[in-house]
Structure 1
Amino acid sequence: MKPEHQDLVLRACSASSLRVGATVQTLWSGYGEIVRLHLEGCDRPSVVVKHVKFPEEAAHPGGRNTDRSHARKVRSYQVETHWYRNYHTDPSCRTPACLAVCSHGDEMLIVLEDLDAAGYDQRWTSVKDREIKACLRWLAHFHALFLGVPPEGLWPVGTYWHLETRPDELEALDHAELKAAAGAIDEALNGCVFKTVVHGDAKLANFCFSRSGEDAAAVDFQYVGGGCGMKDVVYFLGSCMDERECEKRVPGLLDHYFTALKRSVKKKDVDLGALEREWREMFAFAWTDFHRFLLGWSPGHWKINRYSKQLTEEVLLKLKQKKQLSF
């Protein structure tokens, strides 16, 4: 760690010294790393630092190193920096507090509260009902908090698979009907009356849990932006359940999400019934939208399953019927 970066952390935390600890993870395609720093002389035992350094040549796992891909990643870190500087949540949708941010040249540094020290020290690769519902409540509170809030400085349309930012994947898509319908699906999602700010990458790996599993906190806001809340919900559910679990459990879990959402909306002028009806209809559209991306990005991905294909067929049929009615 550069001396100037160390000085930034020490000043931000009023610490007398620091020690570089373990690497929490490396960033996608070799764009830096996340490390834990141990502090002395202040009331924080540790912080987590996201250190972004744009590589001269990115090492994309799939070999898809393009100027477009690089520009998207650079923009994503700029958005995340803006998010931490300018947006704040509340305890019902916990995120790490941002202690300092700096950006210079091809490097960015985000100094964050250590969620482990704050009591969210559990990470899971597989979860049970309790943890799934904790994440759905987090998403419901988050979507309620930012309902109707313009995504200023963020992605105009959130999520990393948004159609406009993924022309290469659309071109590679070997499903003629879905390829032709991609624009209509995107238009349906973007045309929602009720919009919020979506996390944009709400997979299980981006949630941290309390010891009890009853509470969750979220990290990684590179693709935060405007949109329909169902985008986060479908991406999260697809990240932690297989096709059989989805077929069996999605209806009840959606009920749990919407119950939490309606309890969390504080704006009195919101028609909660209309909100739920619109977003429930968009569930299959949001799932199909991500399925479209996966088919173009990684046709052999494990998330391409019977459940996803079934929802896609339902959406394509709806669009076909709508088109017939318009003539």
Structure 2
Amino acid sequence: MPSPPSPTDISISLLAKTGLQLQSIKTLQSLWAGYGYICHATASRLPSLASSGKSSRSASASNSGISTPEDHHSLILKLITPPPANAGDEGHMRKMLSYQVEQYFYSHLAPLLPPSIPVAKCLASINEQQSDGTSTTAMILTDLRQTFPIAGEKREALSVTQVHAALDWLSSFHGFWWPRVKDIRRTELVHPPIEEFSRNVHEAQSRTVWLNGGYTYLATRRSEFANLAADHDSEWREPLTDSEEDGQSISEIVASILAPRGRGRGPAEGYMTLIHGDVKSENLFTSRDGKEVAFYDFQYTGLGLGVCDLTKLFTCSVPLSMLVGKGSVGKELAMQEPEKELLDRYLLRLKEVSGKGYEWDIFVRHWETALVDWLRFQASWGFWGNTKWLEARVRHILKDEEWRSGVAGNRSYA
């Protein structure tokens, strides 16, 4: 089997399409399980363009979309050259589909976003499948660090200012797509991995973003859910996996409410938007003052309720004091005022940007349902972040008869 192409060779080839030439390249990190690399590249204009005067300089700037000095461009290469995988490996399928989803997002959807919702620009990309079963997927992106130099990195929590900025970005992103998702052809959306790879070739060639955004939803986590159902030492086995009166567990009922439909209308259909799918501090950069953020890593972008993005942000990256104030987290916990203030901030901008209505009671029902779903994943996969807060909130939610009645009857969602 031939060696995969090098980051240098791929960069030279892709940059040439934009009128740029490679000056230097450095590997920043390896992708999960040896699937490729993230590299930083610097580039300059090709000599033929550099010597052709003002018109060529304007064309180069227009093609690149980069607001850096004209003789030096800071760029990011994302190169995916996956290792061989066993047939039926769901994790491998998920990853491969996710890279195609991300490439589609940057190539087709990101250019539609206004400047007020900053994301990296894709200058050039390739997606090649070889006859021996290997593949090469790559993108040259603008370097967000030029404008947003502070990386979220593996921090336990963002600052208060950064949390507010992240909420503003998410509410703007969700609000922008909410009225527009009706124009996305659902027949071209990416289904759960095993189901997707069983579809016919014609459908597979038209992949866009995920039908169900994120990577934790129940349809793709059945094995983990089965392990939870068999774990008699887990507090969450009985409340999340035991059957209710209709023969479904509360986890399955919740998943049905939150899941977008390929055909027909689900209980929450009127509130579906595009979600980021993997919201955490490691996937954003901020301005120096922390008042603006830009998210990246759109591998799990797809349809969903905006609150599904918030559950991970609140659990993994928001300081606990911004959720409970100075109070302590007991065994059970109702929504505290600080949590409500964050949700209020998000909802206000979401409605302003989208121009659509969203009643507070329905919004909270969606939020609490998403918290239960997120806990189901953590309970079956492993806990991290504001675990005590998440568990206490869900204990309270599961004992709320009004919530249970609404969920069981799928009421107050449409």
User: How many Å separate the matches in 1 of 2:317 and 2:7?
Assistant: 38
User: How many Å separate the matches in 2 of 1:90 and 1:296?
Assistant: 38
Letter in 1 for 2:151: R
Counterpart of 1:146?
A: 177
User: How many Å separate the matches in 2 of 1:205 and 1:102?
Assistant: 26
Letter in 2 for 1:253: L
Spell out the pairing of 1:1-327 with structure 2 (5 A cutoff).
Answer: 1=6, 4-21=9-26, 23-41=27-45, 43=70, 44-56=72-84, 67-88=89-110, 89-105=113-129, 106-117=135-146, 119-124=147-152, 125=155, 126-148=157-179, 149-150=181-182, 152=189, 153-173=208-228, 174=231, 175-179=237-241, 180-190=249-259, 191-192=267-268, 193-241=270-318, 243=320, 245-248=322-325, 249-265=338-354, 267=355, 270=356, 272-274=357-359, 276-298=360-382, 301-303=383-385, 305-317=387-399, 318=401, 320-321=404-405
* Contact 2:159 2:319 (8 Å CA) reproduced: no
C-alpha displacement at 1:108, in angstroms? 0.6
C-alpha displacement at 1:291, in angstroms? 1.1
Q: Which runs of 5+ in 2 are unaligned?
A: 1-5, 47-69, 130-134, 190-207, 232-236, 242-248, 260-266, 326-337
User: How many Å separate the matches in 2 of 1:103 and 1:324?
Assistant: 44
Partner of 2:174, secondary structure, is helix
* Contact 2:11 2:140 (8 Å CA) reproduced: no
C-alpha displacement at 1:114, in angstroms? 0.7
Deviant stretches of 4+, over 6 Å: 323-326
User: How many Å separate the matches in 1 of 2:407 and 2:318?
Assistant: 33
User: How many Å separate the matches in 1 of 2:409 and 2:38?
Assistant: 52
* Contact 1:123 1:209 (8 Å CA) reproduced: yes
Counterpart of 1:61?
A: none
TM-score by length of 2: 0.70
Which stretch shifts more, 238-247 or 145-154? 238-247
Q: Deviations over 1:34-57 (max 9, x none)?
A: 110011237352210111111136
User: How many Å separate the matches in 2 of 1:323 and 1:5?
Assistant: 50
C-alpha displacement at 1:135, in angstroms? 0.3
Change (3 A) 1:233 1:323: closer
Change (3 A) 1:307 1:133: same
C-alpha displacement at 1:131, in angstroms? 0.5
Counterpart of 2:192?
A: none
* Contact 2:315 2:387 (8 Å CA) reproduced: no
Letter in 2 for 1:264: V
User: How many Å separate the matches in 1 of 2:300 and 2:307?
Assistant: 15
Q: Which runs of 5+ in 1 are unaligned?
A: 59-64
* Contact 2:172 2:353 (8 Å CA) reproduced: yes
Letter in 2 for 1:171: A
Partner of 2:294, secondary structure, is strand
TM-score by length of 1: 0.87
Q: Deviations over 1:52-97 (max 9, x none)?
A: 1111369xxxxxx971111111111111111112102222221101
* Contact 2:174 2:274 (8 Å CA) reproduced: yes
Partner of 2:11, secondary structure, is helix
Counterpart of 2:264?
A: none
User: How many Å separate the matches in 2 of 1:101 and 1:53?
Assistant: 14
User: How many Å separate the matches in 2 of 1:29 and 1:73?
Assistant: 10
Which stretch shifts more, 248-257 or 224-233? 248-257
What's the Cα RMSD here? 2.4
* Contact 1:172 1:297 (8 Å CA) reproduced: no
User: How many Å separate the matches in 2 of 1:234 and 1:194?
Assistant: 16
User: How many Å separate the matches in 2 of 1:45 and 1:324?
Assistant: 55
Change (3 A) 1:122 1:53: same
User: How many Å separate the matches in 2 of 1:278 and 1:24?
Assistant: 43
User: How many Å separate the matches in 1 of 2:227 and 2:324?
Assistant: 29
Change (3 A) 1:324 1:213: closer
Change (3 A) 1:129 1:66: farther
Counterpart of 2:330?
A: none
Change (3 A) 1:40 1:245: same
Q: Deviations over 1:163-198 (max 9, x none)?
A: 111112111214122122111111222321211000
- Structure with max Cα Rg: 2
Give % identity.
Answer: 25
User: How many Å separate the matches in 1 of 2:34 and 2:283?
Assistant: 18
